[in-house]
Amino acid sequence: MLLKSYIATAPMRMEQLLAEELRNLGAVDVAESRVGASFNGTLETAYKACLWSRTANRILLPLASFAAETPAALYEGVQCVSWSDHFGVTQSFAVECNSSRSQISHSHFAALKVKDAIADQFRERQGARPSVQVEQPDILINLYLLRDQATLSLDLSGESLHRRGYREQGLGAPLKENLAAAMLLRAGWPEMAARGGALLDPMCGSGTLPIEAALMAADIAPGLLRRHWGFLHWKQHDETLWNRLLAEAHVRREKGLAQLPVIVGCDQSAPAVRSAQTNAARAGLQGRVRFEQRELSQAAPVSAAVNGLVVANPPYGERLGRDSDLPRLYRLLGDTLKQRFTGWQAAILTGTPELGKRLGLRARKIYSLFNGAIECKLLCIDIDPEWFVNDRRFPTPLPAESRSDGAKAFANRLLKNRKHLVRWLQREGISCFRLYDADLPEYALAVDVYGTEPPRVHVQEYQAPDSIDPRKARLRLREALGVILETLKIDEERLYFKVRKPQKGSAQYQKLATSAKFYQVNEGACRLLVNFEDYLDTGLFLDHRKTRQLLAELAAGKRFLNLFCYTGTASVYAASGGALATTSVDMSNTYLDWAQRNMQLNRFDGAEHRFIRADCVEWLKRGGDGNRYGLIFLDPPSFSTSKRMDATLDLQRDHVDLIRGATNLLEPDGVLIFSNNLRRFRMERERLENLEVEDISRATLPNDFQRNPRIHNVWRIRLK
Mean pLDDT, consecutive 10-residue stretches, the chain (720 aa), reads 92 96 97 94 98 98 96 96 97 95 93 96 95 94 96 97 84 82 98 96 96 98 96 97 98 96 96 95 96 94 86 70 65 91 96 85 94 92 85 71 91 95 92 94 93 89 78 88 93 85 46 70 94 88 96 97 97 97 95 96 96 95 94 92 66 94 96 94 93 96 91 94
Given CA atoms 661, 662, 668, 672 in this order, what sign does their dihedral have? negative
Per-residue pLDDT tens digits for 235-258 = 999 999 999 999 999 999 999 999
The CATH architecture of the domain made up of 400-501 is: 2-Layer Sandwich (3.30)
Residue 541 has a pLDDT of 95
Dist. CA 483–CA 542, nearest whole Å: 23
> What are the domain boundaries of the chain?
4-155, 177-218+259-387, 400-501, 519-719
What region does 627 belong to: left with phi over 0, alpha with psi -120 to 50, or beta? beta
Separation CA 344–CA 164 (nearest Å): 29
Q: Write the burial class of residue 320 (CB in 10 Å: 0-12 exposed, 13-18 middle, 19+ buried).
A: middle
Crossing angle (nearest 10°) for helices 43-52 and 239-257 = 40
**Element at 155 (helix H, strand E):** strand 149-155
Distance CA 34, CA 98 (A): 13
Instruction: Name the burial class of residue 304, with classes exposed (0-12), middle (13-18) and buried (19+) by CB atoms within 10 angstroms of its CB.
Output: exposed
Cα distance between residue 188 and residue 347, in whole Å: 10
Query: Does 519-719 match 4-155 at the fold level?
Result: no
Q: Which of left, alpha, beta for 564 (phi over 0: left; psi -120 to 50: alpha)?
A: left
Are 198 and 267 in contact, with CB atoms under 8 Å apart?
A: no
Task: Please state the pTM of the whole predicted model.
Answer: 0.60
Q: What is the DSSP letter of 687?
A: G
d(CA 13, CA 297): 32
Of 452, 446, 403, 463, the closest CA to residue 429 belongs to 452
Specify the fold of 177-218+259-387.
Answer: Rossmann fold (3.40.50)
Tell me the β-bridge partners of 609: 582
**Domain 519-719 carries which CATH code?**
3.40.50.150
Beta bridge partners of 661: none
- DSSP label at 388? B
Q: What is the pLDDT of residue 506?
A: 42
SS3 string, 238-274, reads: CHHHHHHHHHHHHHHHHHHHCCCCCEEEEECCHHHHH
Q: In the prediction, which pLDDT does 394 show?
A: 67
Q: What is the pLDDT of residue 172?
A: 56
Q: Give the residue among 475, 441, 442, 483 at the shortest CA–CA distance from 459.
A: 483
User: Which overall architecture, per CATH, does domain 4-155 show?
Assistant: 2-Layer Sandwich (3.30)
Q: Is 112 helix (H, G, I), strand (E, B) or coil?
A: helix
